[in-house]
Amino acid sequence: MKENPYSDRYEQACEHLRLALSLLSEHRLSPSPLNYRIGYDIVAGNDSALKTAFEDKAGGADELTDETLWSLYREAYVEDEDALETMRKALQEIITTLQQDFERSGTSLSGYVRTLDRFSTLLDEPVSPKAMAAEVNKVLGDTRATRQGQSQLRHELSHISSEVESLRRELEQVKEESMTDGLTGIANRKAFDAVLEHTIHTARETGMDFCVVLIDIDHFKLVNDTYGHLIGDKVLRFTATTLKRLVRGKDTVARFGGEEFALILPDTDMDGATTVAEHIRQTVSAGDLKDRNGGSSYGRITVSIGIAAFTPSDLPNKLIDRADRALYLAKEHGRNRVENAA
């Protein structure tokens, strides 16, 4: 049975209901169950890739329709399920084949044992050369057949083992893709939430310090409006690459949604997180994103950053909310700066 993907509390769910219906109404889309699910996941921030795809289509020249949302639904929910269903059926076929091979092998072995028992009994009694020769020939024939059957079984097992290993790799790929942002190649919101839950549990058990950092690209909508979404995508990939390069291997870098990124920094107090954030801010703003063909610059990219340090009473939403309020302060105070939550 699949896990319930929606664990929002009553108040949260009611708020997301209001926002989802408002979103559908804004674009004159019917509040059908399918459309509502997409709207709910967008406003709840459950799927950053879905949110980005919706915003791209909403910002395009064509009017949003139910058919548009059906396409988004298939991309967001159905493709992974189709892949898993295909693998499930393949595994069922492998198991059926394996059972049949063992059944054939078991029948062959039991017949061979009966042949040997009969031959052993024959050796204990006087017997004519003709009868002895017939039994020897039967033993030799059954031995060859059994050997051939076992050889065939080994071959089948080797083939099945290869198929199972191939399916295992496919399953790992599906799992990895479901936790990875398609545009930037870093962790998505789903992966971030999972790591945050684990990190909070570890921090409570061990007393470890850690911080959450939210990073927002300044005036990103202006970049999209001025240069187009392809350049906007380049800015997102540039920012993601910079973040991955500047953090440690045990830190988590994720696309939080739209033009917003998030970091989880284990074994890091507020001073350490502030140092990391300042380094990121300075490195991003020092970068020069240019047109490969014409060589013209797209202007300086800057980021605003908010930091929150974990306290033992924190739930994930509370910790993220403090980091988000710090990020809001950074924007309110002029952008291209770092603020931390008191």
**Do 172 and 194 lie in a common domain?**
no
Name the strands in the sheet holding 252-257, side by side, starting at the edge strand that comes first in the sequence.
252-257, 260-266, 210-217, 303-309, 338-340
CATH number at residue 167: 1.20.58
Would 287 be classed as within a structural domain?
Answer: yes
Q: Rounded to an integer, what distance in angstroms lies between the CA atom of residue 32 and that of residue 291?
A: 43
Whether residue 87 is found in the same domain as residue 201: no
Compute the distance between CA of residue 48 and CA of residue 257 in angstroms, rounded to an integer: 5
Name 232's Cβ contacts closer than 8 Å, sequence gap at least 6: 220, 223, 224
Question: For residue 146, what are its two tokens?
Answer: 């059994």
The structure tokens 């540039």 sit at 238
- For the four alpha carbons of 74, 80, 84 and 87, in that order, the dihedral sign comes to positive
116 falls within a domain: yes
> What's at 274, amino acid-wise?
T
What pLDDT score does 97 carry?
59
Do both 326 and 246 map to the same domain?
A: yes
Strand positions, DSSP E, 227-341 = 252-257, 260-266, 303-309, 338-340
For residues 272 and 291, state if they share a domain: yes
Report if residue 91 sits inside a domain.
yes
Say whether both 249 and 304 belong to one domain: yes
The CATH number linked to 212 is: 3.30.70.270
- In sign, the C-alpha dihedral spanning 75, 78, 82, 85 is positive
Same domain, 218 and 312: yes
Report the pLDDT value the prediction gives residue 68, as an integer from 0 to 100: 82
Check whether residue 241 and residue 167 sit in a common domain.
Answer: no
CA–CA distance, 186 with 255 (Å, rounded to integer)? 7
pLDDT of residue 1: 42
Q: Which of 184, 180, 304 is nearest to 239 (CA)?
A: 184
Residue 127: which domain range?
80-178
What pLDDT shows up at residue 282?
95
CB of 213 closer than 8 Å to CB of 276: yes
- The verdict on residue 166 lying in a domain is yes
Give the three-class secondary structure for 186. coil
Number of domains, the chain: 2
Q: Are residues 303 and 160 part of one domain?
A: no
Which of 178, 198, 220 is at the close of a domain? 178
135 & 212 share domain: no
Query: Whole-structure pTM over 0.85, yes or no?
Result: no
SS3 state at 216? strand
Residue 260 lies in a domain: yes
pLDDT of res. 211: 97
pLDDT at 227: 84
pLDDT, residue 273, reads 96
Report whether 29 contacts 35 (CB < 8 A). yes
- In the set 63, 170, 259, 339, the catalytic residue is 259
Q: What is the pLDDT of residue 134?
A: 65
The amino acid present at 40, given as its one-letter code, is Y
The reply to whether 228 falls in a domain is yes
Q: Are residues 232 and 115 in the same domain?
A: no
- Do 173 and 194 lie in a common domain? no
Sequential pLDDT tens for the chain (342 residues) = 445 666 777 788 888 888 888 888 888 888 888 888 888 888 888 777 778 888 888 877 777 888 888 877 777 765 555 565 565 566 556 555 555 554 555 556 666 566 666 656 655 666 555 665 666 667 666 666 666 666 666 666 666 667 767 767 776 776 667 788 888 999 998 889 989 999 999 999 999 999 999 999 999 998 888 888 888 899 999 999 999 999 988 999 999 988 999 999 999 999 999 999 999 999 999 987 777 766 677 778 999 999 999 999 999 999 999 999 999 999 999 999 999 987
Out of 155, 178, 201, a domain closes at 178
Tell me if 164 is assigned to some domain.
yes
User: Would you say residue 261 lies in a domain?
Assistant: yes
State yes or no: is 259 an active-site residue: yes
- Same domain for 235 and 320, yes or no, is yes
